[in-house]
Amino acid sequence: MIRILIAGKNSYIGTSFERYTEKFPEIETKTASLRQEAWKTLDFSAYDTVFHVAGIAHSDEGKISEERKKEYYAVNRDLAIAVAKKAKADGVKQFIYMSSSIVYGAAAPIGKEKIVTADTPLQPENCYGDSKVQAEKGLLPLEDENFKVAILRPPMIYGKNSKGNYPLLAKLAKKLPVFPDIRNARSMLYIENLCELVRLLAVNRDSGIFFPQNSEYFSTTELVRFIARAHGREIRVTKLLNPLVRFAGLFTRKVNKAFGSFCYEHELSVYKQEYRLVGKEESVERTER
């Protein structure tokens, strides 16, 4: 039996992982809230792995207050390191931390490519990204032969009831008759593929930095067409709208966030066992059911 403590209650990733592992009788999960101080008195020694999912998930747009910045570091960095130290002190064998591809900065502008390789330096452009980088720097030195640290840097995660850009695109796909035909490339990660990787990491008790993604890139246009198709619609795409999208990108970063390119090199995401069990079109169909 592998016992996993999910550190962070009511998170999308945590609840999805808990539900995913129900079909594996050899895995037992429990979720702990980190919002109050009660977690500090919880006995972690009953668990083999702590899967840390607590955090502020999305960066604020534009200028933010100093108080809000402190909150990012308090939650994404300080809390993660404190939980890991307690896990190690209590005899837990493995700590899995959800970082993010945001540590490499934003997507490339429309029309340009961005491919992250093993040599790409960390370039966080806001306090959200930097708080993740600082957390990683605090967690990695805790590792020793009895305490393994695994850090995941996923790109955009999507699935049923996910948050972020995906549900916004889904709304457009279900309403718009036409959509811009922009050929960007995005690494994305279906939630069940992520859950399978976390399960394998716990079973194998692996450590290191991991770059999970689906086996194929998406383009934003392709994703929208898949979503529309899942609802029995065919959405027309046209390059005539592309100049308008590029013009809008001069005034808001949200456009580049949706239509810019950001990819992990495929080789970077290979694991010794296959975790990408669901292909991209099937993953959209499952999400939209």
Q: 100 in a domain, yes or no?
A: yes
- Could you give phi then psi for residue 142, rounded to 5 degrees? -75, -15
The C-alpha torsion from 80 through 82 and 86 to 87, rounded to 10°, is 10
| pTM higher than 0.85 | yes
**Residue at 137: amino acid letter:** K
Q: Which residues of the chain have pLDDT under 50?
A: none
289 within some domain: no
pLDDT at position 254 is 80
In a domain, 130, yes or no: yes
Domain for residue 243, yes or no? Answer: no
Q: Give the domain range for residue 27.
A: 2-163+189-213+263-278
- SS3 for 97-141 is EECCHHHHCCCECCCCCCEECCCCCCCCCCHHHHHHHHHHHHHHH
pLDDT tens-digit map of 43-65: 999 999 999 999 987 655 567 78
Kindly state whether residue 223 falls inside one of the protein's structural domains: no
Per-residue confidence (pLDDT) for residue 24, from 0 to 100: 97
In this structure, is residue 83 part of a structural domain?
Answer: yes
Residue 19: CATH number of its domain = 3.40.50.720
Cβ-contact 55, 35 below 8 angstroms? no
Burial of 76 (0-12, 13-18, 19+ CB in 10 A): buried
Does a structural domain hold residue 222?
A: no
Position 203 scores a pLDDT of 98
Count of domains in the chain? 1
Closest CA to 270 of 185, 191, 208: 208
What is the separation of C-alpha 112 from the centre of its chain, rounded to a whole number of angstroms?
23
